Structure 1
Amino acid sequence: MKGPLFYAKILLFGEYGIIKDSKGLAIPYNFFQGALKTSNNLTDVAKKSNANLKKFYTYLSTIDKEKVHFRLEELKKDIDNGMYFDSSIPQGYGVGSSGALVAAVYDKYADNKITVLENLTRDKLLKLKEIFSLMESFFHGNSSGLDPLNSYLSLPILINSKDNLEPTGIPSQKEGKGAVFLLDSEQIGETEPMVNLFMNKMKNEGFRKMISNDFAKYTDACIDDFLHGNAKSLLRNVKQLSKVVLANFKPMIPKAFHSLWQQGIDTNAYYLKLCGSGGGGYILGFTPDYVKAQDILKNYKLELVYRF
């Protein structure tokens, strides 16, 4: 038995901002994926996943049946028969490992599920997001539901605000010099402590002002530029966003990367930003010249996401 594949996601823009209702843009990233599988002979990794699914099953049985109804007996039987989530999506890296698992379980075990094939009205998207938020809270204590939504639909999603989402198209990749890439910090990041840190910072009026003025302004401009294929303007705005993040989100950036971050801003060779909640995992990079950036960052593992 092997279920359909569910992909990783990258929140290109909007980390933390979407908690406070600014814009965001999430895209599927099919370099990493996961699927539900069953085996009689589980490896250690699969055993761990199977044990995690048991806990997840217990949690799902507490969710309000009015919101979403799961075929729990079938799920429990499959788990007892050795079902696990076979995934290449790195955990704690900000690319939606738990989101893909949530999407896979909803797809296989939810009754009356909303499917990708139907007309995805805003109401349906919001209902899906609410269900996924409830499900994914098991992993993070608090979830927007966006990662599973992206993984489930496998479509780029534009977040205009908490209650306004829409599937969107992104410009097709060009054979240009510019690129979006992932830089591996080789450290695991944990979502919950980072989000708690952000919430504490939000108690500070100066920080709140910075979020609603500078952070939201540059995030919105970056999304607009990206969706319209305005590469020059995009890089200008990403540079400003990179500065704002370095100045105000230092605890979310692993210490070893503070000077590398600044170097990008100073040289204009690349600009870094958080990928997900930060604290480790991947860091997102934007560059006008990927070959040059690769050379400067040759001591780090990079993954290409998008060319422009």
Structure 2
Amino acid sequence: MKGPLFYAKILLFGEYGIIKDSKGLAIPYNAYRGALKASENLSGTALESNLNLSRFYAYLLALKTDLVSFNLVAFKEDIQSGMYFDSSIPQGYGVGSSGALVAAIYDKYAADKITILENLTRDKLLNLKTVFGLMESFFHGKSSGLDPLNSYLSLPILINSKDSIEPAGIPSQKEGKGAVFLLDSEQIGETEPMVSLFMNKMKNEGFRKMISEEFSTTSDACIEDFLQGNVASLFGNVKALSKIVLANFKPMIPPAFHKVWENGISTNDYYLKLCGSGGGGYILGFTEDFAKAQKSLKQYKLELVYRF
């Protein structure tokens, strides 16, 4: 048994903002992927994954919803036969490891599933996103459903608001100097504590005002620039966003990277932003000159995502 591949995702813009109904832009990241496999002799991470699938099975068995039903008999039998999720997607890194797993389980066991070959109307996309949010809540406590949606469709997704999402056409990559890259913090980040921290901060009126007037507005402008291919304007807005995140989301940035973050803003060699919920994992970088950014960040591991 070997299932289809499901890819990692990168939320280019919109982290935390999408919880509060501002825009988001997510793209598939094909460097990492996962698939359902089976083995009679499980050990190590495969055994761990199999046990995790048993817990997920119990969660889906107790899930009360009219939106979706699953062939749980087959799911249980496959788990007992040694099924596991074989994945290269790093966990706790903000690139959708649980999202790819959720997409794989939906694809294999959902009854009357919405397929990627259908005409994906707004209602179908919202239905999928809601179902995926319910499923992925097993891993994070609360989920927007965006990661599994991105992995399932393997398309860039534009979130306009909670009730409006659409596949997005992003400009094709160029062989220019500019780039989007991942910086490895070499620390695991946990989504749930970071989201809880954010929700607590949202109780503060000043923080709420900053989110709606500064953070969301700047993030939305970045999305607009990226989709339109306005590279010059994009970097100005990404720099502004990087400053806002440093000033207001410090607990979500690993302490060892506060100075690295400031250095990018002051030298203009690169600009950093959160990749997912933060707290560790990957940090997302934008640069007008990737070679210069590599030189500035030579002691860190960088991965190229997109070229301008």
Give the TM-score taking structure 2 as reference length: 0.99
Distance of 1:217 and 1:70 partners within structure 2: 40
Residues 219-244 of structure 1: per-residue CA shift (max 9 Å, x gap) = 01100000011111100000000000
- Could you tell me how far 1:197 is from its partner in structure 2? 0.2
Aligned residue number for residue 22 of structure 1: 22
- The correspondence of residues 112-191 of structure 1 with structure 2, limited to 5 A, is 112-191=112-191
- Could you tell me how far 1:180 is from its partner in structure 2? 0.1
Aligned amino acid, residue 47 of structure 1: L
How many residue pairs end up in the alignment?
308
Residues 68-119 of structure 1: per-residue CA shift (max 9 Å, x gap) = 1100000000000000000000000000000000000000000100011101
Distance of 1:249 and 1:111 partners within structure 2: 41
- The correspondence of residues 232-243 of structure 1 with structure 2, limited to 5 A, is 232-243=232-243
Distance of 1:282 and 1:271 partners within structure 2: 14
Consecutive unaligned residues in structure 2, runs of 5 or more: none
Aligned residue number for residue 223 of structure 2: 223
Aligned residue number for residue 284 of structure 1: 284
Distance of 2:203 and 2:65 partners within structure 1: 35
Aligned amino acid, residue 228 of structure 1: Q
Aligned residue number for residue 255 of structure 1: 255
Distance of 1:105 and 1:64 partners within structure 2: 17
- The correspondence of residues 1-20 of structure 1 with structure 2, limited to 5 A, is 1-20=1-20
Which segment drifts farther, 56-65 or 165-174?
56-65
- The correspondence of residues 63-78 of structure 1 with structure 2, limited to 5 A, is 63-64=63-64, 66-78=66-78
- The correspondence of residues 31-110 of structure 1 with structure 2, limited to 5 A, is 31-64=31-64, 66-110=66-110
Distance of 2:66 and 2:284 partners within structure 1: 39
- Could you tell me how far 1:65 is from its partner in structure 2? 5.1
Distance of 2:110 and 2:136 partners within structure 1: 15
Distance of 1:46 and 1:284 partners within structure 2: 29
Residues 198-218 of structure 1: per-residue CA shift (max 9 Å, x gap) = 000000000000000110111
Distance of 1:292 and 1:267 partners within structure 2: 10
Distance of 1:65 and 1:248 partners within structure 2: 37
Q: In structure 2, the residue corresponding to 1:7 is in which secondary structure?
A: strand
Aligned residue number for residue 199 of structure 2: 199
Q: In structure 1, the residue corresponding to 2:54 is in which secondary structure?
A: helix
Aligned residue number for residue 209 of structure 2: 209
- Could you tell me how far 1:302 is from its partner in structure 2? 0.4
Residues 26-62 of structure 1: per-residue CA shift (max 9 Å, x gap) = 0000000000000112231100000000000000011
Consecutive unaligned residues in structure 1, runs of 5 or more: none
Distance of 1:69 and 1:259 partners within structure 2: 49
- Could you tell me how far 1:63 is from its partner in structure 2? 1.7
Distance of 1:295 and 1:273 partners within structure 2: 19
Q: CA RMSD in A?
A: 0.6
Distance of 2:175 and 2:223 partners within structure 1: 21
Q: In structure 1, the residue corresponding to 2:245 is in which secondary structure?
A: helix
Q: In structure 2, the residue corresponding to 1:203 is in which secondary structure?
A: coil
Q: In structure 1, the residue corresponding to 2:305 is in which secondary structure?
A: strand
Q: In structure 1, the residue corresponding to 2:123 is in which secondary structure?
A: helix
Distance of 1:232 and 1:285 partners within structure 2: 16
- Percent identity at matched positions? 78
Q: In structure 2, the residue corresponding to 1:61 is in which secondary structure?
A: helix
- Could you tell me how far 1:64 is from its partner in structure 2? 2.5
Distance of 1:92 and 1:37 partners within structure 2: 22
Aligned amino acid, residue 198 of structure 1: F
Structure 1 outlier segments of 4+, above 3 Å: none
Aligned amino acid, residue 37 of structure 2: K
- Could you tell me how far 1:295 is from its partner in structure 2? 1.0
Distance of 1:93 and 1:66 partners within structure 2: 32
Distance of 1:169 and 1:6 partners within structure 2: 20
Aligned residue number for residue 307 of structure 1: 307
